[in-house]
Amino acid sequence: MSTAQQTTLDVAALRSDFPILQTSVHGKPLVYFDSAASSQRPQAVIDAMVAMEQRHYANVHRGVHWLSDRATEHYESAREKVRGFIQARHAHEVIFTSGTTAAINLVARSWGDANLNPGDEILVTVMEHHSNLVPWQQLAERTGAVIRAMDIDDRGHLLIDSIDDLLTERTKLVAVSAVSNVLGTVNSLEEIIAKAHAAGAVVLVDAAQSVPHMATDVQQLGVDFLAFSGHKMCGPSGIGVLYGREALLEAMPPFLGGGSMISNVEIDRFTPGVLPAKFEAGTPPIVAAAGLGAAVDYLQAVGVDRIHVHEQQLASRAREVLSAEGDIRFLSDGSAEQAGIVSFVVDGLQSLDLAQVLDQHGVAIRAGHHCTMPLHKRLGISSSARASFYLYNTVEEIDQFAASMAAARKFLKRGVGRSSTPSKTQ
């Protein structure tokens, strides 16, 4: 097979897997360009969750009955699928959480509280999502640690060389996103991890925007912690993953206490259970896990490498067609490795107004700060518009988006509807 054949997705066939893509919005076909916020789910994922509800459901790990054993098998098979998807050595290094945010908070509360002291440093980047900033700020408040940040250049790339000056003997943790949810920049994790480890720091990667879109191998990366969410990878909301290296997880105290996470309880003390139960207190997301397992199967069948290439093609096309008007500023220049995320501001227009007019054309994009207020401040803006793509988006949709952008500009630049919701009949 030629490279072109290997990388070309049969998008029409894939689209038929996603019932929601048949939706009409304001009488127009839905163009869904908000997958960075949350992706859509194929029928196979919906079916897996329905089957769980209808045929396999019971609580897991507790029952002595047949149905509980079946539910446990499904739950643990989802963990095994995720293990394979990210190439973890052991299934018990995969902890199910409610999402990326919960996974990062788990590390901050458990590993962070146990390991950080006053004056210790946490190194982040200016492009982080609030979920990879606020838990560290809270940790710093609790422990007296200090937060430092790597900056970006004017092209929207991480100033990677700055890490040499920012890493000190006090740096205990480097917390960095694999892909910026705004800039679409793919960060050079290998270099960051190698330098952080050489300085004796532990590395957490916020992989919310990378695991759904490109191949991930935690062993090859040598990463210590990696967090991601089911709902951004064709799976359901309410489930996410913390990957942690076995030795680190073993040494960490449990974060949430309750049922399932213990091996013994007395009236005044408890002994934690083994991994992964130690970090999965309470009844876990049983149905969502079935959906996540099916999402992994689905993405593997399509091929994440091919998805990445497809999205890059869509992003390049979007940049090309959107720049035709000359009044647009992209928040990153797209010159380094990019994911399928294109964020921009249009001269003289509010991003929210733009998104609302596009919605009237059936085009769903995101507008605002995208949970990256420090990044927006760094860029000298308070909000931006973001179009984000996934395997089910097409070149035709990009062209539809560009045509809707032209119509939206015309409408808004006439001053009609400026800073207010456009008429629903527009």
What amino acid positions are annotated as catalytic residues?
A: 371
DSSP 188: -
What is the distance between the alpha carbons of residues 365 and 312, in angstroms, rounded to a whole number?
17
State the distance between the two ends of the chain, measured CA to CA, in whole angstroms. 48
Closest CA to 119 of 158, 90, 146, 141: 146
Stretch that binds ligand PLP, among 68-76, 95-103, 285-293, 351-359 (CB under 6 A): 95-103
Total number of residues that touch ligand PLP (CB under 6 A): 14
- Residue 125 makes contact with ligand PLP by CB under 6 A: no
| Binding-site string for ligand PLP from residue 268 to residue 287, where x marks contact by CB under 6 A and - marks none | --------------------
Least distance CB 177 / ligand PLP (angstroms): 5
Show Cβ contacts of residue 302 under 8 Å, excluding neighbours closer than 6 positions: 9, 14, 391
What is the distance between the alpha carbons of residues 106 and 361, in angstroms, rounded to a whole number?
41
SS3 assignment, position 410 = helix
What is the distance between the alpha carbons of residues 376 and 385, in angstroms, rounded to a whole number?
12
Backbone angles phi, psi at 309, to 5 degrees: -65, -45
Q: Tokens 């897997």 map to which residue? A: 17
Q: Which is nearer to ligand PLP, 177 or 384 (CB)?
A: 177
- Residue 181 makes contact with ligand PLP by CB under 6 A: yes
Q: Which is nearer to ligand PLP, 366 or 409 (CB)?
A: 366
Neighbours of 378 (CB within 10 A): 14
Q: Which of 206, 224, 359, 397 binds ligand PLP (CB under 6 A)?
A: 206
Integer CA distances (angstroms), 98 to 18, 56, 121, 310, in order: 23, 21, 27, 29
Least distance CB 139 / ligand PLP (angstroms): 16
Least distance CB 318 / ligand PLP (angstroms): 19
Do the Cβ atoms of 321 and 344 come closer than 8 Å?
Answer: no
- Residue 388 makes contact with ligand PLP by CB under 6 A: no
Do the Cβ atoms of 334 and 316 come closer than 8 Å?
Answer: yes
- Residue 132 makes contact with ligand PLP by CB under 6 A: yes
Q: Which of 39, 209, 312, 404 binds ligand PLP (CB under 6 A)?
A: 209
Stretch that binds ligand PLP, among 129-137, 188-196, 287-295, 413-421 (CB under 6 A): 129-137
Q: Tokens 């000359």 map to which residue? A: 326
Radius of gyration of the chain (CA): 22
Least distance CB 383 / ligand PLP (angstroms): 15
- Residue 97 makes contact with ligand PLP by CB under 6 A: no
- Residue 229 makes contact with ligand PLP by CB under 6 A: yes
- Residue 35 makes contact with ligand PLP by CB under 6 A: no
- Residue 208 makes contact with ligand PLP by CB under 6 A: yes
Show Cβ contacts of residue 190 under 8 Å, excluding neighbours closer than 6 positions: 221
Q: Which is nearer to ligand PLP, 51 or 373 (CB)?
A: 373
- Residue 171 makes contact with ligand PLP by CB under 6 A: no
Least distance CB 370 / ligand PLP (angstroms): 7
Residues that bind ligand PLP (CB under 6 A): 37, 99-101, 129, 131-132, 177, 181, 206, 208-209, 229, 240
